[in-house]
Each structure stands twice: as C-alpha cells, then as structure tokens.
Structure 1
C-alpha cells in the first residue's frame, strides 16, 4: 500500500482543517500557508482517510451522556467541573454543548468532500481498485458522520413531517466560503442513504484494517438508517446482505469472566472501529449502571458478568466496551451483534416472526452459558418485538446507539418512556416527545453563523 510521509500527511490535514469551526465565516479569516501540500493524488487521499484521530475518534458523545443506562450519585455529580456536561446529563434545555460534538464530525465531512473533489481530477483507469475504495470510503465517512450528527442534533424522524423538520448542514461543497444553512430532515436522510448506497458498490467486502470502512459496514449503517426512518424493508435487506458476508459471533463462554476488560480492541465482531469524544460523566469510576437494567439480565446470561463489575457500594460499573479501553469515551463503531439485532427487529416488524426468532436465538446462544439458554419462539408480533427491543438494549450498551433508539422508539406507545434523574434532592424528567431530544447546536456555532438556525426549545 502506498503511503506518504507523516509530515506530508500533517500538512494535508493542516490545509483542510484551518477552519476548525467551518461553516462559520468569522472563523474563515485565517489564510492557508501556500507552502502547504494540497491533496492531489490517491496516496494523499488515502493518507487523509487513514488519519484515525480525525476520522475515527471524534464522534458525538452527548447522546451517551443523556442516555438512561447509567446514573451518577450526588457526590460524583457535584465533583464534575464541566458545567456543560452536567447540564447535558440533566437534559437542561439550554445546555451549552461542547463544541467537539459538532466540530469533530464536520471535520470528517470536510475531509470526505475534499477527497471526492480531488478524485474528480484523477483518472480512475490508472488504478481502479484503489480509486473505488477511496471514493467509497469518503462517501461512507460522510454518511456515517452525518448520521451521528442527526442522532443528537435533530428531532426524531417522522416521514409525514420530515420535509418540514430541521435537518443538518449537508456541506457537500468543501469550499471554505460555503454558506452554511440547515436542510430539512427528509433531505438529510436522503443524503445519508445516497452516500451509503453508492459506497456499498465501491467498498471491498472485508479489510484487515478495521478503522477503514467496508461494504459490510456500509450495509450495517443502511440497516440503522432503515430502523430510524421506519423503512423496515431496507433494514432487512441491508442487514441480511451484511450477514451473508460475515456472521461470526464471539462465544462469550470463551471469555474470562474476571477480566477487567473482557473485550479487546478490534475483536472479531468489530466490523468498523470508531469511538466518541470523551465525557467525564462516562468514566467507569463514577458512572453507575441502572439497577433496573442490571437486574434484567438472568443469572446464566454471560453479559451479566462480562459487561459489569461490582463497585464497593454495591452498585455496578460497565466494563464490556467493544473498543478494549477503560476510558470516558464510548465505542461508536459497528459490530456483528448489532447487525443481528437490527435484522431480528426488521424481520419481526415485517411479520417474519419465525425468522426473527431464529436470528435472535443464534445471537443469544453465544451470550448464555452453554446448555442454559432456551430458544425463543415468536407467535405474536407485539411480544416478539418487545423481546427483540429488550435484547437490543441489553446488548448494545455504550455503543453510541441508545439515544438513537430512544428517539425512534419514543414514536411508539409501547416503547415510549420518560427518563428520570435524581440529583441533590431534585427530580429531572425527559418526556418521550420532548424537544430536548435534539440538543442545542453549540452556541459558538450559531452565535457566529446566523444562517444556521438553532433547535427549538
């Protein structure tokens, strides 16, 4: 594989990221150094895509901070010094969101757009395979970043109102003088879908470098999109195809239950590796798992011992992160177990109950102690869907998916729930249809870019 010198890559990155708050004209006054290298070749593009600190490690964390799988006690909450993080935890309507939640994904989108522009001036016939892989990767990263942004900065998708609901700034033009305006939600998800569909045709099925996207990863995200927008035919088709390429699961019976970090980075279920930015609220030393959630695991369910450690005060901390790290970030990538759960849900929603049960059983057989799991059978749609949703919640902790699931499931009476926090003697609630499910765009962004409309309160 062709690579360019690290200093050259840093120069390329500098050119693309002189505007850390791009979309805001007041931050576009810095002029680029004319001596800097401008990306012009496939090698340049590949180097930018392989810069994992920018492309894989900067996804929004606020959805995990606002989710209800964990809580902080008064002492630990009061000890946090970042006021914005504390406000997000309590769903404060005016929480000033950390800028990195917006800036990080838009850096990725800027890089992707620049690469796609560079590719327009490169002859594909000179190296078809690399050209297609790089183009597919740029499209994937743009779609993936947009979807992560939509999860936290837009309201839940409703096909009847999506055209009249605020979406994202789509940034298809990488020019620094681009006028940033929000699209509608229908166009936002249409852009994500278009990029993913095209990337599926261009990306390789597999890669040994798990920070690079693949066809399987693109199909998995298409499956997510199908669940979010209620297109369950798309969700089924995409996830079924993804599992046709790779469906191998980790047998949890082979993992050391006493390990402090049971899952290693790039384990065999990980299809695409990515993580969020960090938040002090998610540090395992302070974030305690909801007792109701912990108690929902049965005694022979190995997730109960592999995901959680008992604290000295009798509460539980989460240790089952799929990035193999013990830090204050969340895994934000794609793993095979998520694809199983997405397919199971799509099948049940499409009234294919027997197939849905079969897919769910295949997953759970590798999550329970050998010989202790009783396979489920589904005969009634509502019961089947409830079980699949429950197992999804129990499997996908700290995968940067909980907020997305809360938003989409709140549209359904059977799954809508009010979130509750208790801090310093006060009770805080987040109701299912609350406007706070779309976090405020960071005040720095809207304050300096009048063309970007702030979310309603």
Structure 2
C-alpha cells in the first residue's frame, strides 16, 4: 500500500512506503489514496489560460490608444503594431499561459501515473485516467498551436513543436518534438480516452463524451482531415446539440434581468477560462476591433446583449470599438473552452470543404436563428467554396470570442493561400497629436509563432525557439 500526499498550492506528490508512513498527515497536505479521490482531482474549477501573450495579433482585438502612444514597447504594443523588429524574446521572461498549461499537464500526468496504485474500483481508475488524458491532450493542443507553426501536412514532420510531457516529472528536460509528433501524441490520448468517458460526468469540470468528440473534431479539422472531423462533430452533436437561445433571452430582458451562470449555459461543453472563474468582471479590457464591431451589424444578440460601445471611460470615443460589459455572474460565455456552437461551426466548415454549400449554410442558419434578432437571419447559399468558407469564418469570429480561437484560426487558415489573410490596422483612430500609420501583418509573419518564455529556455537547453529570433544568453 502507498500513501500519496497532494501538497496544497502545488501538484507535487510524495510517495512513501508503509514502513515510512507515520500516520500523521503533514500540515497543508491532503491524503490521496483511492480511485475516487484521484477521479475528483480531475475537477479543477479555476483552470485559466491567459491569452495576453498573443491576443493583439488577432484582427478581432483592439487596444486603447493611451496604452500605446508614448509608451515603451511591451509585448502588447509589439503585437498590436505588428512589429517584427523589436526583441520579443527578451521581453517574454515568463509566461502565465505556458506555466499554467504545463502545470495542468503535470496534474494530469500525476493522475495517469499513480491512479492504478490506488484503492478502489477498476472502472473508476479507468475513468480517472481517461479524463486526465483528454485534458492532457487539450493542453498540448493549446501549447503547440501557440508556440509552433500551425499544422501543415507538407511540413509538420519537420516543423519544430513543443516538449511532450507524458509522465509526472517536475525536473524533466525533454527533447522538443515536431508538430507532427505532438499531434500524434494528442490523437493517441484522445483515442485511448474516449471509450471510458461518460455522457454525464461527475460535475461540469470533468470532461464529457460530447466534449471529447468535439475536441477530436477540432484536432482533425486543424490537420485538414475533413471526413474524420465531420464524423466526430456529428457524434458530439448526437450527444449534445443544445444552443442557448439568445433571441428569447433578449425578450426575457437579458443578463440585467435573468442570470445565466456557468453551469446553466446548456451549450457549454467545457468550463475553462482566460484568467479564472471571474474573468468577465474585468472585461472592459477586452476591446473588440472596429472590423469585428462592423461585422456584428446592428441586429446580433451576441453584440447587443453583452457589449458596450458608448463608454467614455473604457473606450476611445469615435473609434467604433466596444468591450464586453457583462459580469460572469450574469452570463457565462465560453472563451477558451468548447461549446456546441463551435461543433456546429466545425461541421459547417467540413461541409464547405466538401463543396456541400447548402448543408454548410443550413448549419450556419441553425446557429443564427438563436443569435440574430431581426433582419437577415438565413444566409444565402454561395456558389463557391471560398465564399462559403468566408461565411463560416465570419460566424466563427462572432461566436468564438475573446480567447484564442481567432488567433488559432488565422494561423491555420494562413497555411492555405485561398484563405490566408493579410491584416491591416490603421492606428491611432482618434488621437490627432501623432501621425496615423497603417500596420500590416502578413500571413507568414513570425509573430504568429509565440516565443517560448526565457524561464523555460534557461531551464531546458534542449528547448529551442521555433522562429529565427535570438536568445539573449
């Protein structure tokens, strides 16, 4: 028998033999010795993935002029002005996104590595391992799509990726894997996990089978494995196809009258956050660009219910920007997790790529019926794949807000010349004391590959940058 201590405020585990065990639990420690307790460890309600390392590379995000003009360049300003000449690497001494993702991976590895030694039923052990594996895969997916080139079937086998962590080891210095190897690892974890996952998990912070298939669809889509992505998306929707009706919600009075907290939003498949559970309390800093503001139009509940476009305190007047103005307790909007509408959008993209334009637009209209308050609800069916894909991408921009989805989409679509986008940004829009400039982000810009933080590069000499930038040591 082994007794396993989870030290609070870290996920470091200590394993002791029966002979060494004194039956005294150290202060600040929690004894984990049953399969049920390991299973409960999967639930991590405050899991956060800060996106500040790359959020301003998205054409959906904006920044207040006072945070740029006259300021010493920081990573936000470099990204917002698409500055490839400044030294990003020296500025990124650490990264909460990087650190937290690998901290979570160590947590999942702890469960996977040790649950078989625990007391309890075998099916609970299998469930705990499966849930930990699907989350381990998800965290590797986020990391590889941030710090490496987007998956390209032609180059993935040689493109530098990230370090794969497949076992609990706080001192590990693994070799950097290729993008292809990381995706192989992710897909292996997904396939091993799915047979043991539940349709209705223990609580909303445990992964459901619908989430697993949604994530499987996303991985296939990013690899352009369209038939497999479509099949997985359809399977996920067969388990949960609910869409929260924002049109009816508007009639009810919206978030000011009727609260929809996290657990009550029927379309959410996984509860993860950009910063933490209360992230939307600080959403006045989540400013959307004039381009996205125009894309919403005037009749979209996704904008009208939740955004403020008139504040003189949080916005530059005259910039035609807006910010998320709804507290998390009033309405939970999934930003970095997954939800059913993303699955619908993936299915629509699969149809578009198969030249099934009617089917693609029908799926988009299914979402729009719950989003558009008046005017044109049903989109017209285009006659080309490119036009249909543009409709899909536009709906993705409006539905999958504020997290990393648009950044990831730009990266993956930039690998295809038909869908690649050169972003132009005119700035400033309001201030008249400095010259207005046009900033350009090309599809092949190295800015799309975020540098590993210096703290990680210094700890692991085997970890090298995936761009041609210079390490300052």
Q: TM-score range by the shorter chain?
A: 0.7 to 0.9
Shift of 1:316: 3.4
Shift of 1:346: 1.0
Shift of 1:132: 2.7
The yes-or-no answer on 1:41 pairing with 2:22 is: no
The yes-or-no answer on 1:64 pairing with 2:46 is: no
Contact 1:262 1:319 in 2 (8 A): no
- Equivalent residue in structure 2 for 1:395, among 375, 396, 399: 399
Partner of 1:276: 274
Cα distance in 1, alignment partners of residues 329 and 73 from structure 2: 26
Task: For residue 117 of structure 2, give the secondary structure of its aligned residue in structure 1.
Answer: coil
Shift of 1:255: 2.0
The yes-or-no answer on 1:181 pairing with 2:178 is: no
Partner of 2:416: 412
Cα distance in 1, alignment partners of residues 308 and 35 from structure 2: 46
Partner of 2:23: none
Closer, same or farther in 2 for the Cα pair 1:325/1:88, shift >3 Å?
Answer: farther
What's the TM-score once normalised by structure 1's chain length? 0.83
Shift of 1:211: 1.7
Task: For residue 168 of structure 1, give the secondary structure of its aligned residue in structure 2.
Answer: strand
The yes-or-no answer on 1:451 pairing with 2:462 is: yes
Closer, same or farther in 2 for the Cα pair 1:286/1:173, shift >3 Å?
Answer: closer
Shift of 1:152: 0.9
The yes-or-no answer on 1:442 pairing with 2:453 is: yes
Shift of 1:387: 1.2
Deviations 1:164-223 (A, max 9, x none): 111110011213343322101100011111111222211111236222111111111111
Task: For residue 167 of structure 1, give the secondary structure of its aligned residue in structure 2.
Answer: strand
- Equivalent residue in structure 2 for 1:335, among 312, 334, 339: 339
Within a 5 Å distance, the mapping from 1:227-306 to structure 2 comes to 227-256=221-250, 259=255, 264-266=261-263, 267-277=265-275, 284-306=283-305
Partner of 1:105: 101
Deviates more, 1:56-65 or 1:93-102: 56-65
Contact 1:163 1:187 in 2 (8 A): yes
Task: For residue 161 of structure 1, give the secondary structure of its aligned residue in structure 2.
Answer: coil
* Number of residue pairs matched by the alignment: 430
What's the TM-score once normalised by structure 2's chain length? 0.81
Closer, same or farther in 2 for the Cα pair 1:9/1:65, shift >3 Å?
Answer: farther
Shift of 1:150: 1.3
Shift of 1:299: 3.2
What root-mean-square deviation, in Å, do the aligned CA atoms of Structure 1 and Structure 2 show?
Answer: 3.4
Closer, same or farther in 2 for the Cα pair 1:238/1:391, shift >3 Å?
Answer: same
Cα distance in 1, alignment partners of residues 7 and 72 from structure 2: 33
Partner of 1:132: 126
Gaps of at least 5 residues in structure 1 are 1-7, 18-32
Closer, same or farther in 2 for the Cα pair 1:322/1:129, shift >3 Å?
Answer: farther
Query: Which has more radius of gyration?
Result: 2
Cα distance in 1, alignment partners of residues 292 and 343 from structure 2: 22
Closer, same or farther in 2 for the Cα pair 1:79/1:44, shift >3 Å?
Answer: farther
Deviations 1:21-69 (A, max 9, x none): xxxxxxxxxxxx999667543234234322333xx22455433343121
Partner of 1:318: 323
Gaps of at least 5 residues in structure 2 are 15-25, 429-433, 469-473
The yes-or-no answer on 1:197 pairing with 2:173 is: no
